[in-house]
Structure 1
Amino acid sequence: MKKNKGSEKSKFSLWLLAWPIFIEQFLQFLLGSVDTLMVSRISDNAVAVVGFSNQLFNALTTLFATVASGAGIVIAQKIGSRKEEDARTVGIIAFNATGAIGLGLSILLIALPRPIARILQLPEELLPLAEVYISIVGGGMILTALMAVLSTAIRNTGNTKGPMMTAIGMNVIHIVMNYGFIFGAFGFPQWGLTGVAISTVVSRLLATIVLFVIFLGAFHRKIERKDFALFDRKLFKEILVIGWPLGVNSASWVFSQLAIFSFLAVLGSTELAARTYMNTLESFCFLLGFSLALAAQIQIAHLYGAGRTKEAYQAVFKVLAIGLPLVIVNAFILVVFGHNVLGLFTKDQDILALCGALLWLNLLLQPGKMVNMAIGNSLNAVGDTRYTMNISLIFMWVVATGCSYWLGVSLGYGIIAIYSCMIADEYIRAVLSFLRWRERKFLRMKEADMERTRTGDPAICV
């Protein structure tokens, strides 16, 4: 028994959780970068469409993030508290619910790509490209949904290597197919942006199949076909109690970003393309920091479930001590070399000039994002999801979105003002999240609950 406990403790150590997540996230970043680089060989308009469409897809993923994210935290907590069978059932429930939502989104995007793009203010000249890309990639939304829930469930059992290896395979296939479709290589037809969309869907389909196979054996007892009929109302409620604020929080961020993209679309295709290129470069800054934050969420949820509250409290500060210097150094490297990197994507001098100014603002943006990722994920891990939801709803929409429109569009200060508002939002929420974690509210509630269980005294409270 001691050996098993020691093995489990090692399995949920920060480093063992973080490095496969980092490689997986790096490969996802590579996937996006290669997409952008290859699509830029088609046209800057194609890049703008891909960037815009990805924001739309990210917004829609929040509809199933409620179930997937909530289930991941519940799985880690259940494993921490030695309730393996409950963890298995939660994984199955999440798979079924997320797949149903993803199927509905696929049908919607296949049926109404152009009206959706018009509603979101995409410039008229980009609509033909957007219609093709949104209908094909959006039609595969069910695959995105299943990949999200499968990866999350697998990671939260402590197996972060499985999703990593799957990401490697998916990226290789996607890059090869992209190259073939864009340049007519390897016997592929030269289908441009249509080919890129097909490549995306095919690579995701293969990744979903692999993740599903891993998922079947991820828990203490193998999942069989008959098990997919399992449903437990109490466990589903646990998922939703933690998950619905996560979904709202995620939706708040993604839809605010989508709104900001629509503001940029009003400013013009140059600003839209510049923001798309910057999204690619910014990802480089926080990859390792985000991986550490995600690993900390899994670790803290496990520690919280096991009742090891002091270790859970200290874990977030270890992440910040490592993550903050990393994102600052990475952001500074981009300031120095970013212009050269951007030259690989576009030769448009107006776009390059805009991105050059945004690189300096990115140096201010990243530390705030790192604190939000680390502490926000930690608050979520212990179930304090309503707080992160509340501050997101207030400050993302008032500061990041509302002030962006006021300063950037109404007063005409453009993309620089929009970035400044995004920076202000990150720092306000970072400070509030830090103060909330210092209160230890949910950790003290857990300690009181453990004391009640130990003494049998229901009167003990926080």
Structure 2
Amino acid sequence: MMNSQPRKFTLWMLAWPIFIELFLQFLLGAADTLMVSRISDDAVAVVGFSNQLFMALTTLFITVSSGAGILIAQRIGSRKNEDARTIAIIAVKVTALIGLVLSLILYIMPTQIAAVLQLPDKLLPLAKVYISIVGGSMILTAIMATLSTSIRSTGNTKGPMYIAIAMNVVHVILNYGFIFGEFGLPQWGLTGVALSTVISRLLATIVLLFMFLNAFERKINLADFRIFDNKLFKEVLKIGWPLAVGLSAWVFSQLVIFSYIAMLGASELAARTYMNTLESFCFMLGQSIAMALQIQIAHMYGAGEYRKAYKSVFRALWIAELIVLMNAFVIYLFGGKVLGIFTKEPEIIAMGVSLLGMNLVLQPGKMLNMAFGNSLNAVGDTRFIMIISLTVTTTVGGLMPYVVGIHWGWGLLGIYGCMIADEYIRGVLVWLRWKQQKMIRRAEQGTAGQRESITATGGNASVAKA
């Protein structure tokens, strides 16, 4: 009989530090948006557009970091701590290399990339500044993501939370200084915001690295970064590449949607950027539960607690749905006033309020999708997520917004309606897949086969001995 999981792998113990970290990231984004709005709505549009681009490009190293995170949790669950340690080291090295390549591309070609993605010409000078500086530090983003994921997968979700607190404080202070010329800093506007982002990420990466070196049972030394295990890396890729392809389909659909919105105008682009800030607040606690659920289920799955893993999702889902709906409703009630803090343009505020009404419908579908999608990822069923992302997200979430929003002339509301349909269709499909219990039953059969083999071997040995 398997022992119950350690207390640090309970859903609440995993989720609350992740929530605080996400909440601080939200505050960081809100502070960014609020401070940048003091420069101009055009600057806000550029930051929102650029962040979508950066998010799309992170999928290139998510292949390794996410696959590694799932395997680390599974290996720790099955008490193979040395394997977990080796996987983490490999992941950091590979993602750092990918991040370096992305940094060089974004630093050298910021204007060309923004132009290809249909950013309005008047915004290109601002985009050149922001993309070249923040995009040029993608190596830090890559390393941070992998270090945080590896540390969380060991059950330590508090460490990344503390670092997020410090990073937010540094970032907000530097933002204020660079935008308004305070604390003896030059008044550099959007350039200062970009530099503030890079500096805070650099400091966070350094601290995360020290925490990472002590994250496993046996301390990691710098000499250990020479380690590379082909077999373990193939396992990471086996889980990670479908995960990354599926995620990239969604992220690139969001990037394409931003390019559609850019066709509508700078006001619509600014409205969507403000909306992103409020929407992220709605989903923070739900997302933290979904992320914690993935770590917990991967650990249970690795420990052989298959039935427990299966049932855990349903208990967590209803709590998360209620929380997400309550958050969305509160934001809808006060959304107009909140938007008024960011901008005084009546047109932008009106568009934002309309989107907040639709957000009430979006969030439950998004939670359904995240809960079961993360659970499937945790047990290694990442190819199914990839298939539905490539089919549903690229059509309903990527192509249909152009037809409905641009071709049919329904504008921003039509585009958002397609985003809602995408979340619900994928949510229902991953729910049905989880109900089939394919990976759970396969694992149970494998465990039963191993027991029979051990019993048979033991029986034969007894006969031979007699």
The TM-score, its normalising length taken from structure 1, stands at 0.97
Q: Is 1:411 the equivalent of 2:408?
A: yes
| Equivalent residue, structure 1, for 2:371 | 374
* Matched ranges for 1:276-287 at <5 A: 276-287=273-284
> What's 1:201 paired with?
198
Partner of 1:442: 439
User: What is aligned with 1:121?
Assistant: 118
Tell me whether 1:150 sits opposite 2:147 in the alignment.
yes
Structure 2 equivalent of residue 87 of structure 1: 84
What is aligned with 1:227? 224
* Aligned position for 2:166: 169
Rounded to whole Å, the distance in 2 between the matches of 1:412 and 1:458 is 68
1:371-418 CA distances to partner (integer Å, 9 max, x unpaired)? Answer: 111110000000000001111111111111111000101111100000
Distance 2:448 2:6 in 1: 23
Deviation at 1:319, TM superposition (A): 1.3
Residue type of the alignment partner of 1:445: R
SS of 1:343 mapped into structure 2: helix
Residues 269-296 of structure 1, C-alpha deviation per residue, up to 9 Å, x if partnerless?
A: 0110010000000001110000000000
The equivalent position to 2:27 in structure 1, one of 30, 34, 44, is: 30
1:190 aligns with 2:187: yes
User: Are residues 1:140 and 2:110 paired?
Assistant: no
Q: Does 1:308 align with 2:305?
A: yes
**Which residue number corresponds to residue 421 of structure 1?**
418
2:112 partner SS:
helix
The aligned counterpart of 1:269 is 266
Q: In structure 2, which of residues 300, 317, 324 is the aligned counterpart of residue 327 of structure 1?
A: 324
Q: Which amino acid aligns with 1:365?
A: L
Partner of 1:221, secondary structure, is coil
**How far apart, CA to CA, are the structure 1 residues paired with 2:178 and 2:246?**
37
Q: State the 1:356 CA deviation.
A: 1.2
| C-alpha distance in structure 2 between counterparts of 1:27 and 1:133, whole Å | 22
Deviations for 1:106-127, whole angstroms, at most 9, x for unmatched residues? 0111100000000000000000
| Runs of 4+ deviating beyond 2 Å | none
**Is 1:298 paired with 2:295?**
yes
SS in 2 for 1:456: helix
**Corresponding position: 1:352 with 2:349:** yes
Deviation at 1:138, TM superposition (A): 0.4
Shift of 1:457: 7.9
Map of 1:397 onto structure 2: 394
Q: Distance in 2 between matches of 1:203 and 1:318?
A: 37
Q: 1:361 aligns with which of 351, 358, 361?
A: 358
Give, in whole Å, the separation in 2 of the partners of 1:135 and 1:205: 16
Structure 1: stretches of 5+ with no match in the other structure: none
- TM-score under structure 2 normalisation? 0.96
1:96 counterpart (71, 93, 98): 93
Aligned mate of 1:51, from 48, 57, 60: 48
- What's the CA shift string for 1:228-268, capped at 9, x where partnerless? 01011110011001000111011111100000000000110
Give the 3-state SS of the residue equivalent to 1:344 in structure 2.
helix
CA distance in 2, matches of 1:288, 1:25: 8
1:411-442 alpha-carbon deviations (Å, 9 max, x no partner): 11100000000001111111111100000100
The structural deviation recorded for 1:458 is 12
CA separation in 2, counterparts of 1:417 and 1:401? 13
Alignment match, 1:433: 430
The one-letter amino acid of 2:451's match is R
SS state of the match for residue 341, structure 2?
coil
Read off the aligned partner of 1:452 and give its amino acid letter: G
Distance 1:450 1:36 in 2: 51
* Residue 38 of structure 2 is aligned to residue 41 of structure 1: yes
Identity over aligned pairs, percent = 64
Letter in 1 for 2:364: P
Q: 1:182 to 1:448 in 2, by over 3 A?
A: same
Q: Which amino acid aligns with 1:315?
A: S
Kindly tell me the number of residue pairs found equivalent between the two proteins.
455
Structure 1 residues 332-371: Cα deviation after superposition (integer angstroms, max 9, x where no partner): 1111100000000000011011111111100000000001
Task: Find the aligned partners of 1:313 and 1:430 in 2 and give their Cα distance.
Answer: 17
Report the alpha carbon displacement of residue 225 of structure 1 after superposing the two structures with TM: 1.5
Question: Residues 89 and 451 from structure 1, CA distance in 2 versus in 1: closer, same or farther, beyond 3 angstroms?
Answer: same
Rounded to whole Å, the distance in 1 between the matches of 2:355 and 2:107 is 35
Q: Retained in 2: the 8 A contact 1:452–1:458?
A: no
Asked if residue 342 in structure 1 is aligned to residue 310 in structure 2, the reply is: no
- Partners of 1:375 and 1:9 in 2: CA distance: 23
Matched AA of 1:206: L
Code of the aligned partner of 1:311? K
- Report which of the two structures shows the higher radius of gyration computed on alpha carbons: 2
